[in-house]
Chains A and B, each alone.
Chain A
Amino acid sequence: MTAPCLPLPLAEIVPGMVLADVLRDAKGNILLAEGVVLTETVLASLARHGIATLPIVQPDAAPPPPDPVAVQARLDRLFRTQDPADESDWASAALRHHLEDYRLRRGAGASA
């Protein structure tokens, strides 16, 4: 499986970034294997080899934060037959409350 990758100019690469593909020299010899964590020494050596850009593994993009308006609108639709004023239907209200917290990443589910 290939990780999402981003070609970066050598000057922008900092130690700790991860190589997304094997790196070969002009003759096809492997200089570095895929998945290698780049260090200062390695980067300096690559500069001497005349390497200009490197494919770098893109860090996992964090999922976009939930849109509270869209979350409420969808929950309104899912719970459309429930009357919020009907106190005898407290159990449906409790379920909706937990689902809101889950979707909006409040409370216990937030860190996972």
Chain B
Amino acid sequence: MSRIAPEQLAAGVQDLPSLPAVVMELLGSIEQEDIDISVLAKKVSYDGALTAKTLRLANSSAFGLQVKVTTIQQAITFLGFQATRNLITAAALTGCFPSGRCPGFDDRAFWRHSIATAACARGLARRMRFNQDFAFTAGLLHDIGKLVLVTAHPDAYAEVLAWRVAHGGEWREAERAVLGLDHVDAGVALADHWQFSDTMRQAIAFHHAPATQGAGFLAAIVHVADAIVHGLDLAGDEHELVPRVSGVAWDAMRLSEEAYLHLFRETEEQLGEMAAILMG
């Protein structure tokens, strides 16, 4: 067994590659409305690759724009500040972690699952009249702790993968058995280190336990979106497994069968388009 002590987890998080400063600023201020938009647009536009990826996302059919935006400032004008900030975050995050460090860990399956969960959570939020932009980012980030563990402790995580194949069961079970902690712990450690807002931190912390007192509605949305995406079998993972769905979270959605079937289709379509842009 390769136990990871809390101080090792903290050290691993410190050593992670850092996000562009402007993205850190965006993540920390997700609930702030009074950010100076023109300064932000300028800062992002210094990063050509980030700008290009963000604009391609903004112009994808998932966002339904009638005009083609060619600058960050334009994206903000047409999509709004919150939505644009989410796209910038998504574009930055998907390129930030090195891939292939842990043999057997499928980075593409990880990102397909995360992107699909972001799209599905956004669709759920729209139907629930909840903030769609929070839901998108929380969906994208909910399992980010896995990447923390894979990047900082690749050998130990290879044992987790072997355990999961041998015993079946959920990721968290395998992680706890081998490492003594799981991707939720790692996600929360990263949220603290990268100074995510409290809302995001809670959604990451409670997406497997949305019935916990104080978990918040966003955790329930991400919980249901996560289960739907596992059930839609979109990651291309042979050992795919749907986690037990919380009755409390499911009840909170109050959607009809018809609404679910449309949501499934929408999620599949948006994954195809967004994965092509974000994963190159």
Chain A residues engaging chain B, CB cutoff 8 angstroms: 74-75, 77-82, 88-92, 94-96, 98-99, 101-102, 107-109, 112
| Min CB gap A106→B, angstroms | 9
CA distance A112 to B262 in the complex (A): 9
Instruction: Kindly list chain A residues whose C-beta atoms are within 8 Å of the C-beta of B242.
Output: 78-79, 82, 92, 95-96
CB <8 Å contact, B244 and A101 = no
* Contact between B261 and A108, CB atoms less than 8 A apart: yes
Which chain B residues border A80 with CB–CB below 8 Å?
A: 168, 241
State how many angstroms separate the Cβ of A18 from the closest Cβ of chain B.
25
Shortest CB-to-CB span from B42 to chain A, Å, is 38
A interface footprint on B161-183 (CB within 8 Å = 1, 0 otherwise): 00000001110000000000000
B231 within 8 Å of A (CB atoms)? yes
**CB < 8 Å neighbour of B230 from A74, A78, A91, A94:** A78
Any A CB within 8 A of the CB of B233:
yes
Q: Which 5 A-B pairs have the closest CB atoms?
A: A109-B261, A108-B258, A91-B250, A91-B245, A91-B247
Quick check: B241 and A81 within 8 Å, CB to CB?
Answer: yes
Distance between Cα atoms of A83 and B261 in the complex (Å): 24
Contact yes or no, B261 A107, CB < 8 A: yes
The residues of B with any CB-CB pair to A shorter than 8 Å are: 168-170, 227-228, 230-233, 240-242, 244-247, 249-251, 257-258, 260-262, 264-265
Residues from chain A with a CB closer than 8 A to the CB of B258 are 107-108
CA distance A79 to B228 in the complex (A): 12
> With A80-B168, A109-B262 given, is the CB distance from A95 to B231 under 8 Å?
yes
**Neighbour of B170 across the interface among A77, A81, A109, CB < 8 A:** A81
In the complex, the chain B residue whose C-beta lies closest to that of A83 is B244
Measured in the bound complex, the distance between the Cα atoms of B242 and A99 in whole Å is: 12
Q: Is the CB of A99 within 8 A of B257?
A: no
From B168, B250, B262, A94 is in contact (CB under 8 Å) with B250
B257-A92 in contact (CB<8A): no
Contacts of A77 in B (CB 8 A): 240
B245 touches A98 (CB 8 A): no
The distance in angstroms between the C-alpha atoms of A99 and B247, with both chains bound, is: 17
Q: Note all chain A residues with C-beta closer than 8 A to B170.
A: 81
Complex: how many Å from CA A101 to CA B256?
13
Q: Are B264 and A92 in contact (CB under 8 A)?
A: no
The residue on A at minimum CB distance from B247 is A91
Q: Name the residue on A nearest B169 (C-beta).
A: A81
Residue of A nearest to B260 (CB): A98
Q: Which residue of B lies closest to A96 (CB)?
A: B231
Instruction: Please give me the residue from chain B that is nearest to A80 by CB atom.
Output: B241
Indicate if the CB atoms of B245 and A99 lie closer than 8 Å. no
Across-interface contacts of A74 in B (CB, < 8 A)? 233
Give the shortest distance, in Å, between B259 (CB) and chain A (any CB).
8
Chain B, Cβ-Cβ closest to A108: B258
